[in-house]
Amino acid sequence: MSAHAAAPRPCAVTEAASHGRLHPEPHPGHRNEFQRDRDRIIHCGAFRRLEYKTQVFVNHEGDLYRTRLTHSLEVGQIARTCAQALGLNVDLVEAIALAHDLGHTPFGHAGQDALAARMAGLGGFEHNIQSLRVVDSLETRYAAFDGLNLTFETREGLLKRCPAERAEQLGPVAARFIHGGQPTLEAQLVNLCDGIAYNSHDVDDGLRSGLITVDACRRTELLAPLFAEVADAYPYLDERRTIYEVVRRMINIQVEDVIRTSAASIEAATPGSVEAVRERSQPLIGFSADMARRHQGLKDFLFNNLYRHYRVARMVRKSQAVVQALFDAFLDDPGLMPEQHQAAAQEGEARQGRPGRARAVADYIAGMTDRFAIEEYRRLCRPEELT
């Protein structure tokens, strides 16, 4: 145990308390069950494709912007630090963090919104549910089962939100969306660290792209004192390194707040088991009220100044047009998809009718990278390019 690791808490997830896997398997030997989850996630195709799925900027806009892969790694790094300090299961936290975006579409939230609009009335689309679908069935690597056969706790941690009607279909892993309650502390932690990583890298990428300015960032309640601190310590520092120093401090003060606030909440509630955590009406992992306000203020700033910038709006419009055109073409004629996806569409339609066909189309599109979706669009929708 490192000098900074807290003693394991009785409410942390352990192998002994795990609800296991859908398909029983022998113990992994030199690894624990959650390390095996992590390793299966890292080796799966959906994880590799995250390298070419972007957050705010489309993949071809530049090589320095964050992708879903780098975002997942950043979430994992932040969450591991917090989990170690809080005495939680670090391996489970890492597995959830690395898998939490496996179901994301190309073009970030723009792609998801477009696909969700097309799937309205056909079963819907939500990337958290799609991440679970990826690890439960769409990855086909193992001889004995479809999916990755991850532990219940990792699968539970992928679901941040879920409509009650879909929760009924998903079974015990989504029971809290029907009966109330919370996921494990490890899942709560990854959810919060996802937001910390999002804000920090969007500030960095937004400044790098020139879509937001240092002067504007200085006026936010979270960043203003950090810019002042860096200026006092390094009065002649260039802007590029100033930005990095501010971003690293921004992550650090939020991590310290999460650890301090969450430790106090856990100690006050004294949950004696994982099930006691699940039975609670409110999460135990969170920011202090002051940090929550500052964190939300930065989110609002980014929404108004970065995500709604006209250059981003143009990318969103083009990205959604690509996803919508692909969906319409493939739903109208599944024969335009590769053979395995044609077969999935035929099987889905035989079982569920048009919604089953649509689900297979959504699965195919959601698995695309930015660049592959653009190429498919050119092949199908640009008659001048007959290749």
CATH code, 252: 1.10.3210.10
305 and 171 in a common domain? yes
Q: Which residue matches tokens 């309650």?
A: 181
Residue type, 352: Q
Q: Which of 251, 279, 311 is the last residue of a domain?
A: 311
| Mean pLDDT, residues 196-222 | 92
347 and 229 in a common domain? no
272 and 195 in a common domain? yes
Q: Comparing C-alpha atoms, which of 187, 155, 166, 193 is closest to residue 77?
A: 193
Residue 61 above 60 pLDDT? no
Question: How many Å apart are CA 24 and CA 181, to the nearest integer?
Answer: 27
pLDDT value at position 209?
Answer: 84
Please tell me what DSSP assigns to residue 138. I
Residue 3 above 60 pLDDT? no
Q: Examine residue 21 and state whether it is found in any structural domain, yes or no.
A: no
Residue 338 above 60 pLDDT? yes
Please tell me what DSSP assigns to residue 151. B
324 and 205 in a common domain? no
Residue type, 381: C
Report pLDDT digits (tens) over 32-58: 999 999 999 999 999 999 999 886 654
pLDDT value at position 65?
Answer: 63
Residue 60 above 50 pLDDT? no
> Which range marks the domain in which residue 329 is found?
312-381
181 and 209 in a common domain? yes
Q: Which residue matches tokens 């994301």?
A: 104
**Residue 4's pLDDT band (cuts 50, 70, 90):** low
- Of the chain, the percentage scoring pLDDT greater than 70 comes to 95
138 and 258 in a common domain? yes
Q: Examine residue 17 and state whether it is found in any structural domain, yes or no.
A: no
| Mean pLDDT, residues 326-331 | 98
346 and 231 in a common domain? no
Contact 122, 354 (CB under 8 A): yes
Please tell me what DSSP assigns to residue 336. G
pLDDT value at position 385?
Answer: 55
259 and 227 in a common domain? yes
pLDDT value at position 384?
Answer: 63
Question: How many Å apart are CA 238 and CA 247, to the nearest integer?
Answer: 14
Report pLDDT digits (tens) over 95-134: 999 999 999 999 988 999 999 999 999 999 999 999 999 9
The set of residues, in sequence order, having a beta carbon less than 8 Å from that of 373 and lying 6+ positions away, is 106, 107, 111, 322, 323, 326, 365
Question: How many Å apart are CA 111 and CA 138, to the nearest integer?
Answer: 19
Q: Comparing C-alpha atoms, which of 157, 295, 134, 285 is closest to residue 223?
A: 295
335 and 306 in a common domain? no
C-alpha 128 chain-centroid distance: 7
318 and 272 in a common domain? no
Burial of 335 (0-12, 13-18, 19+ CB in 10 A): exposed
208 and 270 in a common domain? yes
Burial of 380 (0-12, 13-18, 19+ CB in 10 A): middle
Whole-number average pLDDT of the chain: 93
pTM of the model: 0.94
Any alpha helices (H) in the chain, and if so which ranges? 33-43, 45-49, 68-86, 90-99, 108-119, 127-133, 152-157, 164-170, 176-179, 185-209, 214-218, 224-233, 239-269, 274-278, 289-302, 310-332, 339-352, 354-366, 370-381
Report pLDDT digits (tens) over 150-190: 999 999 999 998 988 899 999 999 999 999 999 999 999 99
Question: How many Å apart are CA 64 and CA 56, to the nearest integer?
Answer: 12
| Mean pLDDT, residues 218-226 | 96
